[in-house]
Structure formats: structure tokens, C-alpha cells
Chain A
Amino acid sequence: MIYMDNVAGTKPDKRVVEKMLPFIEEKYGNPSAHFYPLGRESFEAIEEAREHVASLINAKSDNIVFTSCGTESNNLAIKGVAFNSEYEGKKHIIISEIEHYSVQNTALKLTNLGFEVTKLKVDETGLVSLEDLRNAIREDTLLVSIMHANPEIGTIQDIEKIGEICKEKGVLFHVDAVASCGHVEVDVEKFKCDLLSIASQNFYGPKGVAALFIRDGVKLTPLFDGGFQERGYRSGSENVPAIVGMGEAARIAKEEMHIYAPKMIQLRKKLWDGLAKMFDFLHFTGHPEQRLPGHVSFWIEYIEGESLLLSYSLKGVAAASGSACSSNILAEDEDELEASHVLTAVGVPNDICAGSLTFSMSKYNEEKDVDYVLEITPAIVNRLCEMSPYYNKK
């Protein structure tokens, strides 16, 4: 299987797994139990992981809170400030149209509590307009939440400039950097952000662990009440093996990103150029250069996304599709099939289930993987075109 669905999660690095194993088997102490070595050992391992995670995003370790996933980090960031009495009276939140569901739906929920949400439009490459952002900020704006990179279309925002505007206007700024961290530089100082979410599974760490950066002075109300773990921001027993794994993944990413990122850019270019030559009815999505290093996304006229995805899967290639037909396929009814809001936002025709596909490569992909995808693509596309009532041979 050639794995090119790394925005859904990367393969854990072997070194990460090795580092985790003792904490599953013998080092099982609860980090809250400092009084005997077994507990203390876990405590120290978590603190070491915190250092590594902090260092990856150029933060202080005191500002890192471990959570269970990117969704939790995003929820904690947004609801955390929204529920905090420190910011009472500020009831306006700005997000973009292409945010992850964990940001969109969280913001939406808050509208039930009297918050107002502005969704910034993006251009056809997926970029937020700085001008629009500037104009959208009001007296009562509490928070701006914009993602660094979009997993579906690969576009990377001008996040530093967005951070500058937020700082200048004195509003809190949250960055969802789940898709980008470990692939491109993520730096909380350069981003001038107050809150930033990252998830371990996106940079060769385990699933089920993530982190939120909280800048000094930002007031957050926790989502869970309990025994004050993670300085009270996230009560509940820590998932020690996972946190240790995330720490190791962060250490490796920081040391090796500059080696694998250029390689991934090369692979991306090869795949992009190869596909571009094949069909004039294949349309790329996202920004041509300002994008994730190993990320290629496109849609094809006459073809529906899920059948494209299935065809690649049958040929041993794992990718992702943003078409309604492939979304929530195990849902209880068809109303839950919904075309991707991201594709709609960048102008992919939504009256049809567009044949959208995302190939996201990791440091483990090789040139031969790209060659293989390019080799099997014509037959897949031609076969589905043959089947399509829309396609008339020219």
C-alpha cells in the first residue's frame, strides 16, 4: 500500500514507538504520584516531552498543555476564552470559511450563547484576505481563529501577517497548526499568536495526543473540571505513553524537518507536473506554491470523487477525497453526506460531487511512489470517464 493520506495521520517514526513502549509496559506509574520513583518517572517523562514540544514551536514549556487531539485543542482554545469572565462583553469571533470542523462547529455552538461569528471568505487559492480581516475586526471582537495550513487543499496562510493585524488591533489570535506542524516551520513568536493547536499524529507521533500553546496572560476556562492536571487547563489522567511519543516526535521533527521538507517539495512538484500534463480537465486546488510540502490536490471534471478514491485504493494507493459521496459514508442517512465546505469555498462546483482528491505525502514517500501514481492514473481516469454520461470523447 502506498500511503498518501498523511493529512489524516502519519506513520509513527520507529524511534517514537520505541520511546513509548516502556511507558506502556513497565513504567506505568501515574505522573501525579510524585512520592515514589515509578510515578516520578512518568512525571519527568511528561516534562521532558513538554520541553521538546515547546521547542518545536519556539515556545516555553510552561505554555504547553497536553490534550487528546487537535479537536480538543481547538475546542479548549475557543471555548476556553469565550467562557472566561475576563473577556466578558467581547462576543465576536472571526474564523475563515475553510476552518476545520472543530473550529467551525465550536464557533457555531457559541452563537447559541449570544456570540456572533464572522466567517472570512477565501480566494480561489484558499487565502484569506488581510484587508477583509482588518475590516472584520470590531470593538467587541474577542478572538480570531485561522488555520495555518488547510489539509484538504494544502494552502498555507500568510499567518505572520494575520498575527500582526491581530496584535495591532488587540484581539486574541488562535492558530490551528495541526496540518502544518512538523512539515513547515511553526513558530509562535513569528506568528504572534496567543493560542496554537498541534497534533502528534500529523508529525510521525501517535494518535490520541495533541497540545495547545497558551501564551502567558491569556485566560482560559478549562473544558473539564477535575484534579488539576496540566495546571488545571486539562484535568484527567495523562496519557503518558502517547505524550512521551509526541515529545519524541517533536524532537525528531525539529532536528530533521529541514532534511525531509525539501525532498517532499520535490516529490510534490513531480506529482503536480505529471498530473498537469495528463488531462486538460484536471484542475488543481489550493495555492500553487504557498502550500504544504508534500501536498497535491485536484478535482477532475466528469468524475465523482469517491469512485476516484476507491479506484486508487484498489490499486494500492491511499488518498483522501472531499466529495460528499465519500464523506461520512457510514452515516445513518444520506442527509449526512455533505460536500466539503472547503472545496465549496474555493469555488469547486458543488452541484456535482466533484472528483476531488488529495494526495498528501510524508517523509516516508519515495520517488517510486509518485511514479506509480502517475503510471496508474491514466487508466483510472479513462475508465471512470468512459462510465460517465457527462464525458463525450472529444
Chain B
Amino acid sequence: MAKGPYSEKVMDHFMNPRNMGEIEDANAVGEVGNPACGDVMKLYMKINDEGIVEDVKFKTFGCGAAIASSSMATELIKGKRVEDVLRLTNEAIVEALDGLPPAKIHCSVMAEEAIEAALKDYYQRIGKDPKIVDEMKEKIKTEIAS
């Protein structure tokens, strides 16, 4: 029997969000919104010279699922290499949260999109074409498919 619409993990991350806040000297900032329900997620990353996410923080306007997804996403990408960060899918976020109600899956999609947006910003800042993020994502997808 379900105890409520959200798993204990979701409730835990909602109550005690990890990495909430802003990073003053972030070098990767992404903001995405969901026009349908109005969620907005802003993600800040500090990526070092080795291409490793040293620090990450978020701010989210949204429901319990949106806040928990943001929090979980930051946990999952902290300390990772940029290439590996891009491997994080919304499904993995949902799994790490022990599931989300079907109507709330889009809140995890938003977290994945926020990461992409932040990395695009990062590449732009270091003088590369942000499209590289899309290409990398494509590559990962075909890799997984094969």
C-alpha cells in the first residue's frame, strides 16, 4: 500500500534539499521552465579545469517532485566529469528517488534539461559551440541504444 503520492526519498529530498542555493562564481548556469505548469529550475555549477563539477547548487519554483528532482540531480552530478554528467537521464533521477507518480515525471525531465542548459552555458563561456552538448547527448543515446 502506498503511503501517499510520494516515496520517502522524495519527501526526504523535499524536506532536506541537498545543495540548495546559488554559487556566486559559477561558470555554468542553466534555467529552464515548464510552460504547462510553471515550474522553474535554476542550476549553478562550478566546473574546474579538469572538467569536473566541483560544486553545484539549485533554486526551484515548483512542486514537491520538482524540488526533490532538483536536489537529487545535484547529488548525482557533484564530483562527476562533464561527459558523465550528460549521461544522467531523468529516468535515473526518478529511480534514485524511488519513483515519481506518472503525472510528475515531467518534473524530473526538467532537472535533466536544467543540467543540459547549464552545460551549454559552460561551453559557451569556454569558447566552444554550445551545440556540442546536443551532439554529445545524441552520441550517448545511440551508444545506449546499441
Asked whether any CB of chain A lies closer than 8 Å to the CB of B81, the reply is no
Asked whether any CB of chain B lies closer than 8 Å to the CB of A303, the reply is yes
Asked whether any CB of chain B lies closer than 8 Å to the CB of A110, the reply is no
CA distance A96 to B52 in the complex (A): 57
Task: Tell me how many residues of A have a C-beta within 8 Å of chain B.
Answer: 29
Within the complex, what minimum Cβ distance (angstroms) separates B59 from chain A? Answer: 4
Within the complex, what minimum Cβ distance (angstroms) separates A325 from chain B? Answer: 4
Indicate if the CB atoms of A352 and B105 lie closer than 8 Å.
Answer: no
- The residues of A that contact B64 with a CB separation of less than 8 Å are 306-307, 310, 325
Asked whether any CB of chain B lies closer than 8 Å to the CB of A331, the reply is yes
Q: What is the interface of chain B mostly: helix, strand, loop, or mixed?
A: mixed
- The residues of B that contact A351 with a CB separation of less than 8 Å are 38
CA distance A231 to B140 in the complex (A): 69
B48-67 residues with Cβ-Cβ distance < 8 A to A are 59-67
A41-75 residues with Cβ-Cβ distance < 8 A to B are none
CA distance A334 to B35 in the complex (A): 12
A-B contact count (CB 8 A): 86
Task: Tell me how many residues of B have a C-beta within 8 Å of chain A.
Answer: 30
Within the complex, what minimum Cβ distance (angstroms) separates A278 from chain B? Answer: 20
Indicate if the CB atoms of A389 and B60 lie closer than 8 Å.
Answer: yes
- The residues of A that contact B63 with a CB separation of less than 8 Å are 304, 306-307, 323, 325-326, 353
Indicate if the CB atoms of A325 and B37 lie closer than 8 Å.
Answer: yes
- The residues of B that contact A276 with a CB separation of less than 8 Å are none
CA distance A312 to B17 in the complex (A): 16
Asked whether any CB of chain B lies closer than 8 Å to the CB of A386, the reply is yes
- The residues of B that contact A337 with a CB separation of less than 8 Å are 36-37, 103
- The residues of A that contact B122 with a CB separation of less than 8 Å are none
Asked whether any CB of chain B lies closer than 8 Å to the CB of A1, the reply is no
Indicate if the CB atoms of A304 and B102 lie closer than 8 Å.
Answer: no
Asked whether any CB of chain A lies closer than 8 Å to the CB of B15, the reply is yes
Residues of B within 8 A of A (CB): 5, 11, 14-15, 17, 20-21, 31, 36-42, 59-67, 101-106
Residues of A within 8 A of B (CB): 302-304, 306-307, 310, 314, 323-326, 328-334, 336-337, 339, 351-353, 386-390
